[in-house]
Chain A
Amino acid sequence: MAHRGGERDFQTSARRMGTSLLFQLSVHERELDLVFLDHSYAKPWSAHPDASSARPTRMLFVTPRRQHESTIQMMDKHLCCVKYVWSGPISSPVYSESDVPIDVETVTSTPVPLYDNQKARSVMNECERHVIFARTDADAPPPPEDWEDHVNRTGWTMAQNKLFNKILKALQSDRLARLANEGACNEPVLRRVAVDKCARRVRQALASVSWDTKLIQWLHTTLVETLSLPMLAAYLDALQTLKGKIPTLIDRMLVSSHTKTGAAGAEALSLLLKRPWDPAVGVLSHNKPSKLPGSPLILIASSGPSSSVFPTSRRHRFWQSQLSCLGKVIPVSTHLLNNGSGVGVLQCLEHMIGAVRSKVLEIHSHFPHKPIVLIGWNTGALVACHVSVMEYVTAVVCLGFPLLTVDGPRGDVDDPLLDMKTPVLFVIGQNSLQCHPEAMEDFREKIRAENSLVVVGGADDNLRISKAKKKSEGLTQSMVDRCIQDEIVDFLTGVLTRAEGHMGSEPRDQDAEKKKKPRDAARRDLAFEVPERGSRPASPAAKLPASPSGSEDLSSVSSSPTSSPKTKVTTVTSAQKSSQIGSSQLLKRHVQRTEAVLTHKQAQVPISSEQTEEVEKEDLRVQLKRHHPSSPLPGSKASKRPKIKVSLISHGDAAGGACAPSQGGAPEVSGGKPVTMTLGQASGAKELTGLLTTAKSSASSEGGLSASPASSAVSSSTAPSAVHTLQSRLVAASPGNSLPGATSASSLLQGLSFSLQDISSKSSGLPASPSPGPAPQATSMKLPTPMQSLGAITTGTSTIVRTIPVATTLSSLGATPGGKPTAIHQLLTNGGLAKLASSLPGLAQISNQASGLKVPTTITLTLRGQPSRITTLSPVGSGAALSEEPAPQALPSSSQRLPPAP
């Protein structure tokens, strides 16, 4: 990769720029610096003891007002730092016209965009490259250029005609934008904006028919059949974008095509649609924010009572995962009793504040030395502020701040917020409705606490920038978000280092070490994935009815808007590591008991992964990379792993607890290996690596197991091959159970059923295999329950599953002898989830009793352990480089399961 070196150069130079990677992107008002330059005797703003504690405002992407006169911003598609180049001295009226030489030739050089242009262009054209997969009949000649004239509209209803024309118009506009933007220096951003626009228009058109299932399915089929390839690519791009926003509706639209087109095409299609691409993918993933000093706990105050009906917004979830790059994130949510009936607003607010407050207290009592950072969005920000008045926290970050109320702006003399003493950072949007930068300045003057303000230019209440802003300044939301995050880091670093810095150097070093590990993840490039699949239509995997949710998970890390998954995975692992080492090493020497086996494995993972050779990892990754696309199953597994894993753990525990003597023995000896192998396989390559490197015997036994159904050679006991065999075995085994392409239940359930079926199908394959003696035993004890649970889950409605976990979690926690604190403590100190699970017999029992509830329950636990969603899904380390962000639809439900207050 020739461009790699250059890329790195760019990164280093980007780092050198300052604290914020994208600092140069934003137009900062540096007037303060000017003052210092001109008046060297000037004292810093804080020199006077009575000075306001409001630090100077930081402006992100705020276009200075004096330059507003340049109205045509779009014509200059450069980044804002060079935007006003042409406004030369002509503006001075003193000059006579002819005095100024006019240069009609020289073209202003185009600046290099801040994202990795090459990569951005590659992901940008993905739909175009793979458009053929959407075709029903790939062998048929592509529609001619004048396809439009050939569309046979006879028999179309008026509604159909109308809808078709609307979509066509949207696609034509998109086509125009594509062609016009071709070759522009920031084409990816412009394309992204255009695609978003097209997606919006398509969505509007579809909404105009109320997403009438028949009509939209007809539309999709017709479009796929008739559109010319470039137009079809535009259409797919729009679908891809919408799929991220309204997955269920899009799935409903695609269902008919799936049945018609056959698995391969549908699968490729859903693979393509799994997630919208982002131009800034490279830069952001390669320049990850580092952890905050002092390993603070980040408490996120919710901005309302959580409800299963209104899941938290994608944006908030995304930010939650972003923040988990900085430290351990603990979301605090409030649940209303009786579905909120009879609960007044005030009560609710009190409830919310109370919840955060008790959480703070709880953490204080357990980790007296850990700094706590409260973060909230909008109302949550307010809650956080109020809590900071009552309880000691290290810092507060308000993302969007509802300054303006019906009674005017906050900050009256009796406003308790004025008594805040905690350092607070306000991040507000320039165009926010609930807040105004100037009113904010007044408010800040009155606060006693040290406070900072970041104004994000052109952003709204949720700090989202407008389309015009993106276009004119070549920005993406992900870049802006990163800048905001950098500002937060800046602020918190300052506060935290000033606060007693007792953090050990160890975790930090490990972080650094972790980061050094190569994590090339250009997996967005389907080029080598899909053709391979397409060329093997006879592979068993291809015959699977492709479920949108199933293959959706086969997403690429690098394409995630922020590439957060990798980051998170790393950081979490490293976070756990320091604490895990002790306990797991201890455990290693223990005689293993039922739970200990699992706990042990679980806890071991980070260590062993560290010991693993780089090369091996590389191999592993390559293997995974190569084999992933070969079937939807391994892919879907990738994201579902954690669920399976946890369920198995609790299951094993349950089994161990309930029928201790008989089965307790099984996992103890090598018979336990199959279980753990399932576990390992389910929980990711990394863990598997860990397992295999630490327990080679299990690998070999696994190899024996997998030999039968899969044709692949059981060549060695090394991790990669084991993974390989596992996966190929799955491929081979799964068609037996025709997987349901059901879209009715929530897709999380789908995912679960998928993965559980994976297991069951695999394990059903096991008895036939020449596996070591204990294996069948393990299987037999394993098999029924997943099946059972599968049945329970799939028959259960989504709401049940959604609501139950909360209750069960609470009760299970309550039922725990140790109580909540213990659980958290163990979770935090020992890191291992399994540890937690093992320490919670109550939980195990619950999951045992109600098998249908089991899986969600355990998910809850996982989520609590590593509250970021990615973490949740892959708490395993960088082996999860393949682990994807969970299916978008899966998210709402899973994050609802976030426990109120562990």
Chain B
Amino acid sequence: MATEEAGDSKGESALSSSANRSNQVPEKPNYALRFTLLGHTEAVSSVKFSPDGEWLASSAADKLIKIWSVRDGKYEKTLCGHSLEISDVAWSSDSSRLVSASDDKTLKIWEVRSGKCLKTLKGHSNYVFCCNFNPLSNLIVSGSFDESVKIWEVETGKCLKTLSAHSDPVSAVHFNCSGSLIVSGSYDGLCRIWDAASGQCLKTLVDDDNPPVSFVQFSPNGKYILTATLDSTLKLWDYSRGRCLKTYTGHKNEKYCIFANFSVTGGKWIVSGSEDNMVYIWNLQTKEIVQKLQGHTDVVISATCHPTENIIASAALENDKTIKLWMSDH
């Protein structure tokens, strides 16, 4: 069920003061709430736009995956099959399949159109926490509380490689744009970069004070890595040289693995949820907070950006259970 917002007022940025700076080169976004999607009966854990921009998939602690239409915020269908809470969901490049990571120690590959579960990937010995397709969508990478990263073949559903990656639960895994590298982040404070073909660790990024890494992602061109740590900090790394280039702060993130994102459809932003129930948007270059989206009533665990349009989807935990779609002119 979706409720449509009449005006922009709710989503208006609280930071109008910074708009006075006329010499600001990149304009500020004006994201405003467009839809609120109701349906999940438990905390939502992850929302993802399909690469073709048509659909939004959401996973939740109610063991369900729901598909929503981006156009009108309409509920489309539910994929059910997992026996425990789902932590993450990811689209294949052709938007035809989904992979979901669940606390039932399995991943499931879904065919979106039919809503059928194609494969169940068994092998992890603890909660599966994060998952992603590679760009060609012939491989799936998953991270788990069993501290390993597994690479699966989509076609057969077989585990091809297990990387004994970390010494704490793995919080995020992601392929780069060419599919040659995998990045994994873990509560042990490490970010590791792996050669996808051989499973060799190529690089390890460590922060000085070693806070748990709650999220990690490659930039769209694969040159940088965005990491989130549980000291309420987002960092942009040039991983080839192991240097931190940018630090984004101001939000609150000390407990949950909150998704962050590059927004490249309008201005270049960094978008992340926050434990103060807001969505934060930073200017990628200047690191300033350019907008905060208010509306959720619990921790915004996931915020994601539409691939081609200025749309942000955000989802919140169990006090809220809603997904909100925000849109901006630029």
Contacts and interface: CB of A to CB of B under 8 A. Distances in A.
A98 B246 contact: yes
Contact of A91 (B179, B181, B202, B241): B241
B221 A103 contact: yes
Contact of A107 (B196, B197, B222): B222
B180 A74 contact: yes
B252 interface: no
A102 B286 contact: no
B240 A75 contact: yes
Given A91-B241, A105-B264, A74 B139 contact: no
B201 to A, nearest CB: 11
Contacts of B224: 102, 104
Interface string B250-289: 0000000000001010001000000000000000111100
A176 B241 contact: no
A33 interface: no
Contacts of A104: 219-221, 223-224, 262, 264, 268, 284
Interface stretch (B10-18, B157-165, B291-299): B157-165
Interface stretch (B39-47, B84-92, B148-156, B315-323): B148-156
Contact of B193 (A75, A145, A179, A197): A75
Given A104-B221, A104-B224, A106-B221, A179 B245 contact: no
B273 to A, nearest CB: 20
A100 B238 CA distance: 12
Interface residues of A, number: 41
Contacts of B181: 75
Interface stretch (A182-190, A349-357, A657-665): A182-190
A172 interface: yes
Interface in A855-902: none
B134, B160, B177, B239: most-surrounded residue (chain A CB, <10 A): B160
Given A72-B202, A102-B224, A228-B156, A97 B264 contact: no
Contact of B241 (A74, A87, A194): A87
A182 B241 contact: no
Given A104-B262, A107-B221, A183-B136, A176 B286 contact: no
Contact of A72 (B158, B179, B240): B240
A92 interface: no
Size bracket of the B interface: 35 or more
Contacts of A182: 136, 138, 179
Q: Is chain B's interface secondary structure helix, strand, loop, or mixed overall? A: loop
B136 A70 contact: no
A57 to B, nearest CB: 29
Interface string B128-147: 00000011101100000000
B204 to A, nearest CB: 11
A182 B178 CA distance: 10
B246 A179 contact: no
B160 A173 contact: yes
Contacts of B196: 176, 180
A69 B243 CA distance: 12
Contacts of B223: 86, 103-104, 108
Contacts of B284: 102, 104
A773 interface: no
Contact of A184 (B138, B156, B178, B239): B178
A175 interface: yes
B238 A173 contact: no
Interface in A87-143: 87, 90-91, 97-98, 100-108
B199 interface: yes
B198 interface: yes
A179 B203 contact: no
A77 B180 contact: yes
Given A86-B240, A184-B180, A194-B197, 19 more contacts: A71-B240, A74-B195, A75-B176, A77-B180, A90-B241, A98-B285, A102-B236, A102-B246, A102-B285, A103-B223, A104-B268, A145-B156, A146-B157, A146-B158, A176-B160, A176-B196, A180-B179, A182-B136, A183-B136
Interface of B: 134-136, 138-139, 151, 153, 155-158, 160-161, 176-181, 193, 195-199, 202-203, 219-224, 236, 238-241, 243, 245-246, 262, 264, 268, 284-287
6 contacts: A102-B245, A104-B223, A104-B264, A179-B139, A183-B135, A228-B156
